[in-house]
Amino acid sequence: MSITIKFILSVILIKLFNDIVNKKSKQEKNEVPLKYYIMKCVFILYLIVVLDVVGFPSLWEWKMMMSLSQPIFNPHINLIPFKEMGIEDALNIVLFMPFGFFLPTLWKRYHKFWMTASFGLAFSLTIELSQLFSRSRVTDIDDLIMNGLGTVLGFMIFYIIRKKNYHTDEKEENNLFVKVEPFVCIIIVIICNFLF
């Protein structure tokens, strides 16, 4: 039930933000294909699931920790690469492959390898740093490496089958919202995940 609430709230907030930016920019309306919106909704759902799987901290968890007089900041850090290899590393690769696939599929500016790889690493770093504020998670350099590798493999899959693009057209790429939309999606999903 919680994932459903996060998903609905995230989609509504992203749509609201999109409408506000488009009104202010007064750009001509280009019809965006339905398949683009469907793919974006799948991307948002994917982000919500990722944050649930990786143990992103939540307000509920913080309240519980404070009621038990436990600190919110719980630094468990592993900075030694490949200290303990396991199935989790392969799962991290698989977990981030959709990220590397969705970005260039939805937004043309991520057709550049370095843009997608950088964004994937930044998102992974955000997750790892957030785990400093979770009671049972470890901030691990291996996760960062494997998530980055997963993003790269997802991008490679996109590159191989890139004939099916769901992104908006060239005119839409100049729209302010389209430029910041991936960041807005992630920030809104993070906020909804934290609050619910």
DSSP 157-169: HHHHTTTS--S--
Question: What is the radius of gyration, based on Cα positions, of the chain?
Answer: 18
CA torsion sign for 45, 114, 90, 56 is negative
Domain extent for 130: 2-21+32-195
- DSSP symbol at 162: T
Residue 26 is assigned to a structural domain of this protein = no
Predicted confidence band at 98 (pLDDT cuts at 50, 70, 90)? Answer: very high
Distance in angstroms (rounded) separating the CA atoms of residues 37 and 45: 12
pLDDT-derived band at 43 (thresholds 50, 70, 90) equals: very high
16: confidence class by pLDDT, cuts 50, 70, 90: confident
Higher pLDDT, 119 or 81: 119
Task: Using the predicted structure, report yes or no on whether residue 147 has a pLDDT greater than 90.
Answer: yes
pLDDT the model gives residue 86 = 85
Tens digit of each residue's pLDDT (9 = 90 or more) over 112-135:
999 999 999 999 999 999 999 988
The answer to whether residue 27 sits within a structural domain is: no
Confidence (pLDDT) at 121: 97
CB-based contact 147:181 (threshold 8 Å) = no
Residue 96 lies in a domain: yes
Give the model's confidence band at 175: pLDDT under 50 very low, under 70 low, under 90 confident, else very high.
Answer: low
The verdict on residue 170 lying in a domain is yes
* Percent of all residues in the chain with a pLDDT value above 70, rounded to a whole number: 87
Predicted confidence (pLDDT) at residue 168 exceeds the cutoff of 60: no
Cβ contact 48:10 at 8 Å? yes
Across the range 46-74, mean pLDDT stands at 91
Going by pLDDT thresholds of 50, 70 and 90, the confidence category of residue 163 is low
- The reply to whether 176 falls in a domain is yes
Q: Say what angle helices 87-106 and 141-160 make with each other, to 10 degrees.
A: 40
Please report whether residue 147 resides in a domain: yes
Structural domain count of the chain: 1
Dihedral (CA of 184, 188, 191, 194) sign: negative
